[in-house]
Structure 1
Amino acid sequence: MAKLKIASIPNDKPVRLTIELPATVHRDLLTYADALARESGQTVDPSRLIAPMLGRFMAADRGFAKIRRSQLPSGTEG
């Protein structure tokens, strides 16, 4: 089986957002949650995948990382 990028869902205090997703993205989230459940043996609510996926996406975006570094106060590492 393929190694999934999201292995666990952190239990962090959430900030509630209401969003609309294209149906294709929702279907892919359902499929991903099913694959993760088969791999980990735990049921995963597809909506709980969105935050870690966005986090990984932003962490891998070099342009965003550069902008973020430029906005940090002097002497602070992020």
Structure 2
Amino acid sequence: MTKLKIGALPDERPVKISVELPASVHRDLLAYAKAVASGSGQPICEPGKLIAPMVARFMATDRGFAKLRRVVQSQETSKG
């Protein structure tokens, strides 16, 4: 089985936002949800529930964003 970047979804309290996606991205989310379900043994989840872990993973692996966060955090620490 292919190793996916997103595994079983954590059960956390959500914050609602509205997002419009192109139909092609929605189809890919549906396919990804099926892949996650087959890899984890869980039932197929609502594709929208994949968006948060995907965005979190993207931000966690974005080196530029990580560097920016470190700079901002060090500035906040030095102020307070």
- TM-score exceeds 0.5: yes
Q: How many percent of aligned residue pairs carry the same amino acid?
A: 57
Q: Which runs of 5+ in 2 are unaligned?
A: none
What corresponds to 2:29 in structure 1? 29
Correspondence for 2:49:
48
Q: What is aligned with 2:68?
A: 67
- Deviation at residue 19 of structure 1 after TM alignment: 0.6
Q: Distance in 2 between matches of 1:70 and 1:5?
A: 27
Moved over 4 A (4+): none
How many pairs were matched up? 75
Aligned partner of 1:45: which letter?
E
Whole-angstrom CA distance in 2 between matches of 1:7 and 1:34: 12
Matches of 1:19 and 1:3, distance apart in 2: 27
In terms of fraction of residues, the more helix-rich structure is: 2
CA distance in 1, matches of 2:4, 2:38: 11
Q: Who wins on radius of gyration, i.e. which is larger?
A: 2
Greater relative CO, 1 or 2 (CA 8 Å, sep 6+): 2
Alpha-carbon distance, 1:61 to partner: 0.4
Q: Give TM-score, length-normalised by structure 2.
A: 0.86
Equivalent residue letter for 2:40: S
